[in-house]
Amino acid sequence: MSTVIPDGREVFRFPASSGQRRLWLLDQLVPGPVYNIGWRVALDGPLDPGALRAALDAVVARHEALRTRFEAEDGVPVQVVSSAQPVELPVLDVAADGLDDAVRELVRRPFDLHAGPLLRAALLRLPDRHVLVLVLHHSIADGWSCSVLFDELAHCYAGDPADLPELPVQYPDYAVWQREQVEGDAFAADAAHWREALRGAPTVLPLPGDRPRPARPTGRGAELRRELRVGDGSFPALLALFQCVLHRVTGQADFLVATPVAARTRPETEGLVGFVANTLPLRARFAAGTTLGEVVRAAEAATVAALAHQDLPFEQLVDLVAPQRTLAHAPLVQVMFAVEPLPRARRAGAVTMRPEPVANGGAKFDLSLTVEHDGDRWFARWQYDAELFEEATIAALHTAFATAAAHADPAVEVAELPLTSAAPAPVAGPHRGGTALDLVSAALAAHPDALVGTLTCGEIDRAANRLAHALVAAGARPDRPVALCLERGTPTVVGVLAAWRAGAGYLPLDPSWPVDRLTAMATDSGVPVLVTDAASRARTRLGGPWADVDLDTATGPDTPPDVVAPIPGSLAYVIHTSGSTGRPKGVHVTQGGLAALIAAMDDLLDLSPDDVLVSFTTPAFDVSTVELLVPLLRGTRVVTVPADDVADGALLRRHIAEAGATVVQGGPASWRMIVAAGGVPAHVRLRVTGGEALTRDLADQLQSDGATLVDGYGPTETTVYSAVGVVPRGPEPIRLGPAVPGTTLHVLDPLLRPVLPGLIGELHVGGAGVARGYHGLPALTADRFLPDPFGGGRLYATGDLVRLRADGRLEFLGRADRQVKVRGFRIEPGEVEAVLRAHPDVADAVVTTWSANEVDVRLVAHVVLRRGDTEALRPHLAAKLPEYMVPAAIVALDALPRTGSGKTDRDALPEPEWTAGDAAHVPPRDDAETRMASIWRDVLSIPADRPLGVHDNFFALGGHSLTATQMLARVRAAMGADLALATLFAAPTIAALCAALTTADGGARGPVPLLDQLDDLSDAEIDRLLGTLADDDR
């Protein structure tokens, strides 16, 4: 590495190094302090400010990198190195309580890479001491450089700068040497190693973030630093622990973690100040039974191999892997790990310099963990993207890492490695107990004259007794369900009570459903008796091995039959849910579980005889029990909507209005229909929703007039609602309500261990509401209904992903079996649906996936439009979501298909019609497109005989970071348009780039504002430019 610095010039120019080009390009996209390296240096002892200034001048004069700024030549950054000048060192008087703010302001002030200088210094004078603040842009320094700088600063302050040995090379020498190595074949062996080491490696690690990635990343970061107890402090051991934690919290068995290296493999660079550091991706792989010791050995082997091939610049390494690009995150690696000694103090004459790093308020990666030590004490410094994570989540990750470090037994399997200390299990709150029949019977006796539906409570009581006698005579038996195929409303209420008083449970059959399905449900449940009425027989007739009883003609005494009364463990009902095989599963729910639920809803809703509840839920859906039974406890009047009117939002709203309803329960889909039909009538003071996830936008609509909104969560297997409560008003995301009294909610990992607050686990429900299991499916019952390891009884594994938030409430994250991954990103479709519904043209939306294979997975949105077309939705989505969350297809429907229970029927959604192949070739159509095409041909070296169309993608044609900047420089010179680099990301085709320009006075075109240019990106529109994002050193 020979010197290339000429003598006797005031300013000289050199090519930028690989790392410098990367940071310059990033600064063009989003200027800010993310790559500021900040230090506060406590100066203990009697300070001579003049000597300090002279020492700083000497160090800056000694190192060309500290006098470097950048200019662009034909769109390519070059180093501009100036002659030595005195360094500005203002002396600022600061009060002790203002020190942190003063340091923060200096460190977080962005640099101008074009104007320079890229080193900032200030001496803060406090009443009893001095603090030196030094800030350097990462393009001129790295962690090693800072150590050199402090050594030389202390030496120059204490003695003669001439005593320092002469530097064999300057940073421009290194940059030229590196360029020669890259353009030659010096790194061929390194490239071969990395090509093989990263073959097939996933390039995205989906961390459990608290928020979706913003459409316009800001780089805003935060930091958490905690003390750590460490046994084995070697790099491989600590890296392995971190990899184990990431594996456990993400569920990923193959992923990459980056680590910074000094990359000073040449002796000439040891005393050099400049950006020499490199980033190396280290791969972690896990299998069933992998032990911690095996992970440590693999981490050691990967580290040794990586260090042997550390010279290949990271951007070239990224090119080898060629991951799909997006501005939403760093390519290839999003997580960084490092182990570093704490900065040591330097003695400078009578002064001791104690440097301490200062956070710049940015985040280069999603997550970075640096383990710091001074030989005795250990600390974990977590730097994270504050747009993605809350501090509580990072604190949970720290707890997991610290717990793993404290229990680091090499023989333990990774799946068994403790990540949290034992915590008390949730305890079920007290509930009324008894049976649902006891609760309802007592209520009917308490207000016999109250008109609940079409009958009074006393009339319902007597009618149920008469029917119960008929059921016993027909063969009803304890713990066997009686099938009820009845008109909705009061007839069903009578049938339910009659079945219970006959000692049986009930199986609700909706007469509007297909005969084959009803017959299969009744046959599967082994019902001995089927109860019908004239209204249901007019719709459907079922035949099978059961006795038929007519509700309308059943006779018997007005008193209950003499049978064994139900107990809490007796069967209350059988509800069928959809099965993955297409066969419905019959869930057996107990009297005690139902009693706990209706008692809780009675307390929460606090109905009165003056209320009017409008009911429209099919009895075949378990939520109907709230509408059938809870009003009986208070003598509340119920108005039932005819089954034929339920699917029509306008008719449904009319029934609610005409009844003067004060209370309505419905699923989110039904509420959206009502809102779309004119809004919820104001007299509906209490609005209850459940069955599907409630979104914030719908909650806001239902609460806009001051009404109370209640949201319930719970699978059929845990008796309607396991968690229910009033939804707070405000912009905060929807949380699950408190556990129903008698119910426990556990967030567990696959081995049934509690998950730390803030981290994702599967919700398991215990307590009184847990059903017996599935009828005739013992294996499936054993798989989902598990022994409760915390307090006896059983837990139901819901298959729902949740996490405990800092406010003590659970956040619902969707079904574990419906997790969507697109290009490695874990996506919650509900987030995309919420953005779609926020558009004024959209009445409703649902987002699913379409896949041709495991690799080609695409998001598809199905929308119901109020007006307009789907193309108008794309700019709206691009402005609010990162590009990987923008659906590949948007399908307009007249209405979303619904299941019999009113939920969205995702299986019935039509597939999109994809356009075969790429866009048709369209040649340039006007002068601007012709000139743009000519520039592209020259820059990309496209042969004249090869067609170039206006819809061809710049990056797909081989464009990359340098060619992009060069092309824009040519556009500036030839077309008079000063375009920002981000314009090309948003408009990577000739047609789009020309359309993004504004024509004025003879064709001059001006730039699109930077943030607008970041709105609509796709993976094919991201080039190597962002492939360089992931490089970092402190």
SS (H, E, C) 395-460: HHHHHHHHHHHHCCCCCCEHHHCCCCCCCCCCCCCCCCCCCHHHHHHHHHHHCCCCECCCCEHHHH
Residue with tokens 């320094």: 141
pLDDT at 476: 96
Over residues 906-916, the mean pLDDT reads 71
pLDDT band (50, 70, 90) for residue 1027: very low
pLDDT at 1031: 36
pLDDT at residue 1021 greater than cutoff 60: no
DSSP string over 42-64 = EEES---HHHHHHHHHHHHHH-G
- Top pLDDT among 940 and 455 is at 455
Over residues 886-899, the mean pLDDT reads 86
The tokens describing 238, both together, are 């600590």
- Residue 781 amino acid letter: T
Collapse the DSSP code of 734 into the 3-class scheme (helix H, G, I; strand E, B; otherwise coil) and give the result. coil
pLDDT at 5: 38
- DSSP-assigned beta bridge partners for residue 590: 571
Q: Where in the chain is the domain with CATH 3.30.559.10?
A: 11-173
pTM of the predicted structure, to 2 decimals: 0.78
Per-residue pLDDT tens digits for 743-762: 999 999 888 888 888 888 99
Specify the range with the lowest mean pLDDT, choosing from 24-28, 696-700, 1015-1019.
Answer: 1015-1019
pLDDT band (50, 70, 90) for residue 1024: very low
Per-residue pLDDT tens digits for 331-384: 789 999 999 999 999 999 999 999 999 999 999 999 999 999 987 899 999 999
- Provide the strand spans (E) within 57-155: 68-73, 76-82, 91-93, 119-125, 130-137
The tokens describing 470, both together, are 């008929």
Other Cβ atoms closer than 10 A to 391? 16
pLDDT at residue 933 greater than cutoff 60: yes
Q: Which residues does 188 contact at the CB level (< 8 Å), separation at least 6?
A: none
Sign of CA dihedral 497, 498, 502, 508: negative
436-726: in CATH 3.40.50.12780: yes
Q: Where in the chain is the domain with CATH 3.40.50.12780?
A: 436-726
349 burial class (0-12, 13-18, 19+ CB within 10 angstroms)? Answer: middle
pLDDT at residue 915 greater than cutoff 70: no
Over residues 943-957, the mean pLDDT reads 81
- Top pLDDT among 963 and 418 is at 418
Q: In this structure, which topology does domain 927-1015 adopt according to CATH?
A: 1.10.1200
**pLDDT > 70 fraction of the chain, expressed in percent and rounded:** 90
Nearest to residue 859, comparing CAs of 896, 888, 893?
888
Report the DSSP pairing between strands 130-137 and 785-787: unpaired
Name the average pLDDT for the chain. Answer: 87
pLDDT at residue 54 greater than cutoff 50: yes
Per-residue pLDDT tens digits for 58-107: 999 999 999 999 999 888 899 999 999 999 999 999 999 999 999 999 99
CATH level 2 (architecture), domain 11-173 = 2-Layer Sandwich (3.30)
pLDDT at 1: 52
Sign of CA dihedral 288, 293, 297, 300: positive
- Top pLDDT among 353 and 1028 is at 353
Q: In this structure, which topology does domain 190-345+361-416 adopt according to CATH?
A: Chloramphenicol Acetyltransferase (3.30.559)
Collapse the DSSP code of 868 into the 3-class scheme (helix H, G, I; strand E, B; otherwise coil) and give the result. coil
pLDDT at residue 867 greater than cutoff 90: no
pLDDT at 882: 65
Collapse the DSSP code of 222 into the 3-class scheme (helix H, G, I; strand E, B; otherwise coil) and give the result. strand
Over residues 691-713, the mean pLDDT reads 93
Element (H, E) at 385: strand 378-385
DSSP category for residue 378: E
| Secondary-structure percent of the chain, ordered helix, strand, coil, rounded to 5 | 35, 25, 40
pLDDT at residue 580 greater than cutoff 70: no
pLDDT at residue 607 greater than cutoff 80: yes
Per-residue pLDDT tens digits for 15-51: 999 999 989 988 887 789 999 999 999 999 999 999 9
pLDDT at residue 11 greater than cutoff 80: no
* Contact between 502 and 481 (Cβ < 8 Å): no
pLDDT at residue 920 greater than cutoff 60: no
Give CA–CA dist 460/264, Å, rounded.
Answer: 88
pLDDT at 73: 87
pLDDT at residue 854 greater than cutoff 80: no
- Top pLDDT among 534 and 976 is at 534
* Contact between 80 and 68 (Cβ < 8 Å): yes
Q: Where in the chain is the domain with CATH 3.30.559.30?
A: 190-345+361-416
